[in-house]
Structure formats: C-alpha cells, structure tokens
A and B are shown apart, each in its own frame.
Chain A
Amino acid sequence: MASNRNRSWPGLILLVALSGLFISPFVWMLSTSLKHESRIFSRPGEPPQWIPTTEKMDAEGRRLVTYQGQTGADLGRADTGRHALLVDGQEIQAWPEEFEIQQQLGLHWQNYVSAFEMMDFMVNLRNTLFICFSAVLGTVLSCSLVAYSFARIPWKGRNAVFVLCLATMMLPYQVTLIPLFALYSKLGWVGSFKPLIAPYLFGTPFYIFLLRQFFMGIPQDLSAAARIDGCSEFGIFARIVMPLSKAALATTALFMFLFQWGDFLNPLIYLQDSRQYTLAIALQQFQSQNESAWGPLMAMSTAITVPIIALFFLTQRTFIQGIALTGLKG
C-alpha cells in the first residue's frame, strides 16, 4: 500500500524480528536433516545446535579427540570400558569423559540417501500429485458454484442450507469414519483413490464458506448491469464473478493442495497397497513407533516441505492480488 510506504521502517524491523520466530522450525528441520544421529539432541542444559557438525576423522578413519589439550586418535573401546587413545605416538587409556570428540562443520547427506532408500519416492510423489490435482480441480469448480448460490442468489431456504453445510464440519471425524468406510466399501471403492477424490468433486464446506465471503464483497451493481444486458445467471458467474475472484480461487486451490499433500489419515485408511501410498503416509511410516530415526525423518520432512514452499513462494502474488475494484465505485 502506497499509504504505508513512508512508515515502513518500524514495521520492517518488526517483520525481521518476527520472521526469526516463524522460520526457526524450518531451519531446525533443515539443520537436523543434515546432522549425524549422535549430534541431533543436545546434552542437558545446552541449547540445540543449529549448525550441523560431524566428527573429525584422521586418514585411517579414526575419530580425532582432544585429550588434555592434545589431539589424539580414538582406537576404540577396551574391555575395561576405557578408550585407547593414540596421542603423540603413545597409546593411552582414558574414560569417555576425559576426552572430547573433535567436531568440524559438516553436512551429513547420508540422511537423505537413507530417506530416499526407505521410500518409493517417485511412486509416492506421483500418487500424491494425482490426488492433489484431481481434488483441487474438483474443489475449485464445485465450491465456486455452490458459493455463488449461497452468496449471490437470494433463494428461499438458502440460509438453512448454508448452516447445514457449515454444520457438517462440526462433527469429529472419528465417529463418521466407520459408516463412511462402510459406504465406500459397499461401493467397492476401498483400495482405490476414489474415496480420496470423489467427495471433493461435490464441494467442501470450508472452501464454499471461504468463497462465499469473497463473492459477497463483489458489488451487486455489476450483476445487475449484466442482467439488464440479458446475461444469464451462469453468464454472470462465469464472466463477472469468477474473473474478479482469482485471488480467492487461488487461495482455495492452494489450501486444498496443501491439505491433500499433508493428509495421511484418509490415504492410510482407504489405500490397501504400499504402491498406492502417498508421501504423507511414507512420512508417517517413518515416524511410527518403530525406527524413528530423526535424521532421515527430518530429511524426508524437508524433502516433502520444500516443494510446497516453492509452490507458495512462486504463486503467493496470485492469491494476494486484490480484485482491483478501484474506480468501479465512487
């Protein structure tokens, strides 16, 4: 906003300060994904380490340690529990707390290798994208139609249906899961992508509500003028309201994409073969009771998050653009 430009300094400082708070989880995730397992959690009383380090090794692959100010190589643990250290050509026995393992800045890329080895990334990605795109397409089309009805056509019973639509969001999923599954099972849809996509082709309350709020803000004069020109209701929807709502439609598409990208419960319940699994389930499998190896887990989290960060970064203009009504009124 032009009106804000001259006062942007305090705001900018606040922005920078706050962004540190908001970016920290991502930075932490990224840094953890590049750490060796042994370096992920700090000792009690110490803050977490943000910069990944690895152990220094000598030419023969032995860890380098600092023992009484001198550098030595760790030859391994003896039966006594002490470590044999090679310091200055001399072999010394020392308890683990008497020496320090030397660290250097180093990225542990192995986490990414193990993460990709443990999942079928390309297959998971294809499944995820298929579900995301079909659900986004269906949601944008159907929700805009329904929202138009709720926002711009004054029909009898409209408010009741609108409240009903909102009300369906108010029941916790846990109690509708069983009958819903039974329904899909009767239809023979279990084990396919259909239960993950079909419901979204008919409109989702959250996005209907969102679009309704935006459609309400479009001046009625525009519709009235078009109606006088002989435009049908669908014509007004397609030629006036939709083009003016690109920002809201883009927001809808983005949110639906994000939801489908991250949802694991529905795919887990309805899919019956690991070749159908999505990225989110692959992540979930990692995190499940067994084998919660933090390094690869965070590597995979990063791999799953980065594409949507890129998506948001590249498209954020679109859905934050105004409908540029300046001059239409007043």
Chain B
Amino acid sequence: MLKDYAIAVIALLVCVALLAVLWPSAPESPEEREALAEGRVVITYWDRHSGHEHESRRELIDEFNRSQDKVYVRALSIGYNSLMEKLLTSIAGGVPPDICALDGTILAQLAAQGCFLPLDEFMGSDPYLSQDAFFPYIWDAVSQGGHVYGVPTTTDTYCLLWNKDAFRRAGLDPDRPPRSIEELESFAAQLTVQDESGIQQIGFLPWIPWDHSYKLGVIFGGTWYDPETDRMVCAEDPNILRSMQWQQSFAIDPDSDANPRHALDPQKFMSFQRNFGAYMSATNPFYTGKVAMIIEGEWQCTFIPKYAPDLNWGVAPFPAPEGVEPVAYSPTCIADCIPVGCRNEEAAFAFLRWFHRPRPDGRPSPSSDYNFAIHNIPCRPSEATQARFTDDPTFRVFVDVLMERPVATTPVTPVSQFMGDEIERYREKVVLRELTPEQALREVQDTVNAELRRTRAFLERTRP
C-alpha cells in the first residue's frame, strides 16, 4: 500500500516538474521588457478592430513608443466578436485596460451605465481635444449629462453606391444615380432580374447589407427618440411611419393587387440573401453584382479596390424624400475611452495627447494618419478637409455630405443595443406583414421606453 502511494507521489512530482519546465516565460516582448527595465509606465490599449485596421493602429503606437521614454503602450486587438464579454468582465473584475477603442453606440450605452471616466478636464485643457475641434455631432455622441467620455478618432457616413455595369445592362445611364426616392424605386424595379429559379439580381433592398431602419427614418425627416423627454417618439412621428411604410413597400403584399413594381416576394429575397458571401470579401453581394444599389459607408473606398478591383461603381448622396431637408447620417464614431478602474490615467492621457495632436515637426496628427490609412473620416473638420482626403473624388462625396448637410446620429442612451435590436426585429415583422408599420412602431416605442425607464430608475438608485 505504501509503495502504491509512493509511486503515485513520485509520478505527480515528475508531472509537476515537467509542467514547471514547460511553463511559458513572461509574455512581454523584448521591447516591452526593455521599457520595463527603463522604468517606463506600461499601459494597455484594447482595439476593437482587427486585421489591417488594427495593424495601422499598431504602427502608430510603435511610433509613440519610440518617440519618448516615459510610457510604453501595449496594444491588443480583441476584435468585435467577444468584445462585450472581455470588456465587461475586465471592468467588473477590476483589471480593465487603460484605454479602449469602442464604437460610439456601445460607448454611449456603457458610459451611461457608468463604465468610463469623464475626460472633461483633460480634453478641455487642449485645443486639439476641446469641443470646438470636433464635428458637433461627434462631440454630442461622446458626451452625456454634461461630461465627455471619449476621444473620437474616426467617423463614418453612409451614401448610395451603385454598380455602373448593372445600370448599363438594365438600359439606365450608368453615370446617373437616382436623385429622388421615386427614381430609386423605379431604378430598383428595372435593375431586378428574376427567372423561374428565383431572383438573380436585386436592384435595391433597404435592409442590405444590414438593417438601415434607423437611418432611413432619419433620412425621411423623422425623429425616433426625443432627448428632451428621454423617450422614444417613433410611433407618433409621421415621417418615421412613412419610412417604415416605404421599407414595407419592397415586400409583396399577397392580399393586394396593386403591389408597386419594385416589390419582391419575401420568401424569394430571403432565399436570395442567403446566397450572399462574407461582407468584407470579394463575395460581398455588391461586389459580385448581386445587388445593384446599396447603402454603404466611406470605408468602401478601401474595400472595393482591395476586394473587387474590377467593380465599376459610383457613389452619390442618398436621395431625400420630397419636401424633406436632406440630412447626412453618421453612426457616430470610434472613440478612445478610459474605463473606470484604470491604473495609469496620466500615462493614458500622455498617449492620447500625442495621438491626437499634430506631430512636433508639423506633420498631421497620428489620428489623421490613422484615418487616412484605413479610409475613415477624421472627426475634426480641419482634418477631414485635408487634401489627402478630398483629392479622392469618391471619398470626397462622403466628406462633402458630412460637411454640407445637417448630421443625424444614433441617440445617446443607456439602452442603445436594445433599441437597435428591437427596431430591427419589428422591421422584420413589418416586412413579413405580421404587423402593420403602425403596430410595429407602437411596439418599438413601448418596449424601448419601458426598458429606458427601468434602466434610468436603476442608474438613479446606483448613484452614491
């Protein structure tokens, strides 16, 4: 018996020794070890981007690390898929990153929930970071309750992209995009190709590549949410209703004899949509010609040359309905924020200050370089109008839309993802004709308002 135990103990000891030998050494890179030896402060930066967009960011961070000897930034790409899990666990567990780059809508929701430090003092003290430096809508998107919670880096806007070859094949002038909603409808009908096996090409569907209900409501001149009263008002807004009815008009009503020409059978377009390839690849339905017109953002100026160099495409502002002032829609911005519990606030500030100011030798700011590298629009009008952004005629269309039109964005609320989900879910019910647009908007308004009230009451109670 003793012998058995002895053998077991020895076997265990051997295993432990083996593991101890195999145990990976400290994760620091050689540069980071050097930085630690120099006594620099090491801070962590979590990037919500991955791939080439993260690489561009990392190159600039390396430049920062070389440029001074006080702070070392360790960048980590966490991607989009498990961002919320990783960020929330780290904040709840008390070991958040020092800086995190996030989408404006998520930032707004998390900031309202109390995730981030207010940056008023830091940003107010710097002319490149103060309110006047940014597009007003961006400043509004990162601030709430009189505090600002993020340093905006990149912004986006949407326009209408069209496939010139598809226009030509349909007998349309390839250089003339639709200029009104009515034209858009009639072009969509002409550009749709169907045969007995189903749809071969779609002219335009309002929910490709993803749900656009919010921005369409805004483009139709409607208001979803009233910040004054902090409640959803979409069910009471005739323009939101019009936008929802317009979306519904793209799906055939089986009970009606007078379907518009651009209407399609929901079963058929849902089947067709299943054929779409990956968004960011050569198989994107717009690149392969499966969809002739699409609502898309300025990043396509990088993606299309990269994934579909042969595509013959154009870009134009999305047409406004008659009698409605044309607006630009922006899904706000990507901004750097500092989570509650950050351990090296000052060092984080030092990095952000470097990133957002023009370089000492007069070259543009790293932030502007970053935008240029990934073809996003800088958050400062002064940078967005730099020649390198406006020289490109297609990119310029996007910049001009943002500069010239009033900009509407997603509202800043603590329930932004819930709101987005509900709008999309009920839009689907409208398209499938399970609910009328009126009923759907009523449901959206009631459920989101209930959730808003519940969350506000909860946040009120957590206030110290």
Does A40 lie within 8 Å of B282, measured CB to CB? yes
For the complex, what is the distance from the CA of A130 to the CA of B275, rounded to whole Å? 40
Does B278 lie within 8 Å of A268, measured CB to CB? no
Cβ distance B449 to chain A, nearest Cβ, rounded Å? 26
Cβ distance A173 to chain B, nearest Cβ, rounded Å? 10
Does B89 lie within 8 Å of A178, measured CB to CB? yes
User: Chain A: which residue is nearest B197 at the CB level?
Assistant: A45
Does A269 lie within 8 Å of B86, measured CB to CB? yes
Cβ distance A107 to chain B, nearest Cβ, rounded Å? 18
Listed residue (A81, A239, A291) with the most chain B CB atoms within 10 angstroms of its CB: A291
User: Chain A: which residue is nearest B277 at the CB level?
Assistant: A41
Stretch with Cβ within 8 A of B (4 or more), from A152-160, A181-189, A255-263, A299-307: A181-189
Does B86 lie within 8 Å of A268, measured CB to CB? yes
Q: Of B88, B93, B312, which contacts A185 at CB under 8 A?
A: B93
Does B24 lie within 8 Å of A232, measured CB to CB? no
Does B165 lie within 8 Å of A275, measured CB to CB? no
Given contacts A134-B19, A235-B4, contact A44 B310 (CB under 8 A): no
Interface residues on chain A, number (Cβ under 8 Å): 55
Listed residue (B15, B24, B52, B94) with the most chain A CB atoms within 10 angstroms of its CB: B24
Q: Is A238 an interface position by the 8 A CB rule?
A: yes
CB-defined contacts of A232 to chain B, threshold 8 Å: 1, 4
CB-defined contacts of A284 to chain B, threshold 8 Å: 79, 81-82
CB-defined contacts of A45 to chain B, threshold 8 Å: 197-198, 200
Q: Is B117 an interface position by the 8 A CB rule?
A: no
Cβ distance B90 to chain A, nearest Cβ, rounded Å? 8
Given contacts A37-B307, A276-B27, contact A178 B88 (CB under 8 A): yes
Q: Is B261 an interface position by the 8 A CB rule?
A: no
For the complex, what is the distance from the CA of A134 to the CA of B15, rounded to whole Å? 9
Could you tell me the dominant secondary structure of chain A's interface residues? helix
Q: Is A6 an interface position by the 8 A CB rule?
A: no
Q: Mark A202-243, 1 if CB is under 8 A from B, else 0.
A: 000000000000000000000000000001101100110000
Q: Of B52, B164, B200, which contacts A291 at CB under 8 A?
A: B52
Q: Is A250 an interface position by the 8 A CB rule?
A: no
Given contacts A81-B174, A130-B23, A193-B24, contact A234 B4 (CB under 8 A): yes
Q: Is A24 an interface position by the 8 A CB rule?
A: no
Q: Is B92 an interface position by the 8 A CB rule?
A: yes
Cβ distance B13 to chain A, nearest Cβ, rounded Å? 13
Q: Mark A110-138, 1 if CB is under 8 A from B, else 0.
A: 00000000100000001100100110010
Does B51 lie within 8 Å of A238, measured CB to CB? no
Does B279 lie within 8 Å of A181, measured CB to CB? no
Listed residue (B12, B51, B74, B80) with the most chain A CB atoms within 10 angstroms of its CB: B51
Question: What are 9 A-B pairs at a CB distance below 8 A?
Answer: A44-B199, A141-B15, A185-B94, A232-B1, A235-B1, A272-B76, A275-B28, A288-B50, A291-B53
A sample of 18 more A-B contacts (CB under 8 A), given A40-B282, A286-B51, A288-B80, is: A37-B283, A41-B277, A44-B198, A81-B164, A81-B168, A130-B23, A130-B24, A178-B88, A182-B93, A184-B93, A190-B95, A269-B89, A272-B27, A273-B28, A290-B54, A290-B79, A294-B278, A294-B283
Q: Top 3 nearest A-B pairs by Cβ distance? A: A291-B51, A288-B79, A185-B93
